[in-house]
Every structure is written in structure tokens, then in C-alpha cells.
Structure 1
């Protein structure tokens, strides 16, 4: 077969080569970005159940992966509105909460929340919105 020749007498091979290099660079960048953005470890998966009685909130770890307490976040809402103060996890005494939570929410407990453990804390009566029956 004869090579393809443009009217000015030059071949199109240099143009095709530049395009192939550009496509390779773009694809390599995409693969590198996807690889670097991929999470290294999947998040834990656990089954939790919640009960709230008056000012006491209890969360029971029913099963699944252990949870690193220091990496956990708890957000409390009453009637769909967040409380002004959210509980740090773990803690012993915090603004808006009665001292001495139990289980893994207590700063004196272990770092891991395992299946079968219950974490309990109590909202202080001084909060603007506090949990009550029916709320």
C-alpha cells in the first residue's frame, strides 16, 4: 500500500503520533487520579438501635464491625432541629449533657465499640430543646 500523502507533500504520521501521545497522557492522568482517590479501607458497617427515654439516649451496637469511638460523630436533634450543643465522643462532662455517659461514649472506656455494647448519655435539662415523650 502506498502511504497517505497530503497535498503539501507531508505525511500525516507526525500528527497521528502527537494525538496518540496526548491520548496516552490524558488516560494515564485519569488512571492516576482514580487510583489516588480510591478509599484505602471501607468504612465500618454496623447495626445500631436507638432508644430515647426522657433525657436519656441509648444506642445499642447490635452487630457488625467494631467502631472506633474517637472517629464516631453523634448528632442530636429534637423535633428535627439540632441541639445547640452536640456531644463530643467520647466525653465525661460536656456543655448541654449530664456528666458520666456510659459505655463507649465515656472517656474512661475503651477505644472500640463492639457488638453487644450500649452507649448512653443524658441531655441536660438546661438545653433549649430537650428530648421528652412524643418529641
Structure 2
């Protein structure tokens, strides 16, 4: 009788182990699927395209929102280079007074203005003599606009 008991114990151990292994695989697959669906739902939706333009007159840069989605200036970063060389001081937007720039930018770049930059609005800022390199007539000025880490626009204009 003991031989029959051992044979039946062995068979049930293999069967029980197989059922537990399959159950574990099903539970892990369900957990991975739930995490994947949750991550897919929480990823940010792409924003609508935004059109910006740049004009450079002397040391004054004017950026105009030509159309598209409004931008929250508080989340923007502006990076300016002249002739391929980045400015020594980059503008923190919005601001009123900042190193390398004359006080009082206009439009949404001014800290006292509405932080929503909408179509038709122009934001201007002026480089101070303490910033380097200087903007010489004919120099190519490049302005890159980022919303957080996401590029919004890369603009180029020749200084007049």
C-alpha cells in the first residue's frame, strides 16, 4: 500500500506544481497589462502645432505668436544664439529684470503680463551691453523655444 501512496503523491505534486506555475504566469501577465494600460492613459497628449516668427532690429528681438495653441510662458525656456554662439546670459521668461537684458520686456515675456501667449501677441526683449556676443547688423540670430523639455520652435532671422 505504501508504494501506491508514493506513486499518487508524486503525480499530485507534478500536477499541483503545474497548476501553481500557470496561475503565477496569469497573475504576472495581468499585472503587467494593467501597468501598461495605465501608462498609456497617463502619457501626455500631443499639443497642436504653434507657429512663431522672429524679427531682430538692433538689440531687440520680437517673437510673434502667429497661430496655433496658446503657450504658457511660465513653462517656456528661450535659448538665443548669435552667429551660432549662445548668449552668455539666457532670458528667464517671464521676467522684468534679468542679467544680460534691459529691464521691462513687453508682451507675455513681462512678469506682470498674462502668462498665456496667444495668437497675435508679440513678446519683445532687448539685450543689454553686458551680454555677449553683440548682435551686429547682418548677424544670424537663432531663437529656440522649449515648453519644458519639448521643442516648440527654432527660429532664425538676420539682424537689421
TM-score by length of 1: 0.78
Q: 2:63 maps to what in 1?
A: 59
Report how far residue 20 of structure 1 moved.
4.7
SS of residue in 2 equivalent to 1:93:
coil
Between the two proteins, the alignment pairs up a number of residues equal to 128
- The CA deviation string for residues 65-88 of structure 1, in whole angstroms up to 9 with x for no partner, is 111111111111122222121111
Q: How does 1:16-95 map to 2 (within 5 A)?
A: 17-33=20-36, 35-36=38-39, 38-43=42-47, 45-95=49-99
Q: Give the superposed CA RMSD.
A: 2.4
Report how far residue 117 of structure 1 moved.
0.1
Q: How does 1:90-105 map to 2 (within 5 A)?
A: 90-105=94-109
Relative to total residues, which structure has the larger helix share, 1 or 2?
2
CA gap 1:34/1:76 in 2 versus in 1, 3 angstroms: farther
- Unaligned runs of 5+ residues in structure 2 are 1-9, 141-160
Moved over 4 A (4+): 10-13
Q: 1:3 maps to what in 2?
A: none
Query: How far apart in 1 are the matches of 2:86 and 2:139?
Result: 16
Query: How far apart in 1 are the matches of 2:106 and 2:98?
Result: 14
Q: 1:4 maps to what in 2?
A: none
- Unaligned runs of 5+ residues in structure 1 are 1-7
Relative to total residues, which structure has the larger strand share, 1 or 2?
2
Report how far residue 43 of structure 1 moved.
3.9
Report how far residue 17 of structure 1 moved.
4.4
Q: 1:117 maps to what in 2?
A: 121
